[in-house]
Structure 1
Amino acid sequence: MDFDTPVVVTNDLEKRIAEAFSMFDHIGNKTIDVREVGTILRFLGCTPTEQEINEIISATEFEDTRGTIHLSRFLSHVCQLLTERKMEPVSPEKLLEAFQVLDPDGNGFLTKEFMSKIMMEEGEPFTQEELDEMMAVAIDPQTGNISYEYYLNQLMYEPKESIFELAANAKALQSKKF
């Protein structure tokens, strides 16, 4: 693969993905280390599972230089996944319901210890780094607990247009061409 091959960006979805990709292209040759894939996807507002991240890596990684992904492969593959509405986050209402299930007494908060145990041991476990990043935002410095409604409000920042709105627009444009 020629690292100097120009990558043509044709719509807002591709532009947003390319911009996020370039933030992690530390050499400036339109490539990233495979370990950055999950970070880029989460930066874009996606919620991929580890399996989905590994599938993207398998589909886009260079055969001859393992561990490297070029923008051209990443861009087309991720655009396709997003137009199929893959890796879409759950709604704030569903997140609130999940927190309420974990809080059967209806206290409105969870302890740091309980939340850490759940995040590290249940479902798709967080790494210690991911847990530390979450806790830095989630914990109320006054009580040391996680007031989940407040935490969810902090998570609800959305850019002007979400990556999934851009994907829907790109898909609509694509179907008009055919």
Structure 2
Amino acid sequence: MENVPILRRRSSSVKKEFSEKELEELKTAFQLLDRNRDGRVTAGELKIMLNNLGIEIKEEKVEEIIRTMSHSGSELIDENDFLTFVKQMQLALPEVADDVTRDLGAAFRVFDLDGDGFITREELKTAMEMIGEPLTETQLTNLIRTADLDHDNRINYEEFVKLLSS
């Protein structure tokens, strides 16, 4: 990773590194990580998402990842930190993108209970209960609203996977 330029931008300049569509999709991904919607992601929030994807990781490692992603080395990352980290990973690990796409697609399909390529409100509710993370009606509404890029009241996981791997 020595040959990878370190992107430490704090302004919107990192946003220029992505297409408009990529940026919209990455913002959605960040919002999904930011469970309490405070504009920052904690190690705990990241660990929950990783665990939900079937990735077991020690709390200390997650804290280290967050500190690495944070421009200040703190235990919180904001949207710019997230975007900068994604860009660094794209530059450093292009060959991993295919594996990540497959893994995220498989993880997301867990929520698509009827296999139609979409996650409905009811499927999301059921899947979250199955993984021990039940959601309130308000949380369900907010999650669907955040992730539903084409506003059809369903989540298209193929687009979501593309956003995280592009």
Q: TM-score, normalised by structure 1?
A: 0.38
